[in-house]
Amino acid sequence: MVTYNIHSGIGRDGRRDLGRIATVLRALDADLVALQEVDSTPTAQAPSAQMHELAQLGDYHAIPGPTILTPERHYGNALLTRLPVIALTRLDLSERRREPRGAIVADLRTAHGTALRCLATHLGLKTWERRRQVERLRPWISDSPAPLVVLGDFNTWWPLARTERQLSRLLGPSPRLASFPAAWPLLALDRVWARPAGLLQRLERCCDPRARIASDHLPLHAELALPRATRTG
């Protein structure tokens, strides 16, 4: 699976070119992709409907999670999945006088026949804002009956930050791979947490030269060791 802040398809050169994002995602070939800063306007013919265009290229089911919603534009989070969706919830994490934020909680059926809960989000820029947003995510993390992966852009970079400590208490430690800025990554803004321990087998930062120009973030690519369904009888 992949988490990727695509910055509306605007690359380091200032050009909006969704084709470059599509090239990076095709090379990663993940069954589940969490996107941030993506247009999901529900018009298949609209050139700005980025989520739909990317979904068609990878044979994905597209799940929009817009946080900015106007008649002309749906913008925010999105999930692209090849896995069947069992249940779906969209959470509003917005705080007053701050940019709207949200999360997508999708319960999925894996190829092994087991359930997997995916929580994809993009948290706010202020420390107090993120603290409150993580508290609102807590029930969906604590009460998950299935293996769980939490991923997205968490907008925190300091290892001892409150957001980091909150999530690590709930989910255990997670590798910190710098993904921002794409040209010379220094900050681990994009993260992947997984539970139970051992579920996250491998986490890599995509260092493809094409990814370094396509957005201001680099994507992270995770591999999970998913359990197989138990047969009875």
pTM for the full model?
A: 0.93
Identify whether the C-beta of residue 26 lies closer than 8 Å to the C-beta of residue 59. no
Query: Helix H segments across the chain?
Result: 18-28, 50-58, 127-142, 162-171, 209-214
Asked if pLDDT for residue 84 goes beyond 90, the answer is yes
Please determine, for residue 5, whether its predicted confidence score (pLDDT) is greater than 70.
yes
Question: Which stretch of 43-47, 94-98, 175-179, 180-184 has the lowest confidence by average pLDDT?
Answer: 43-47
- Say if residue 84 is preceded by a cis peptide, omega within 30 of 0: no
Q: What is the pLDDT of residue 232?
A: 44
Neighbours of 210 (CB within 10 A): 13
Indicate the CATH number of 2-224 among 3.50.30.50, 2.102.10.10, 3.60.10.10, 3.20.20.70: 3.60.10.10
Q: Which amino acid is at 48?
A: S
Separation of alpha carbons 31 and 77, rounded Å: 17
pLDDT in tens, 43-71: 655 555 789 889 988 889 999 999 998 88
Amino acid, res. 31: D
Cis peptide, bond prior to residue 181, ω within 30 of zero: yes
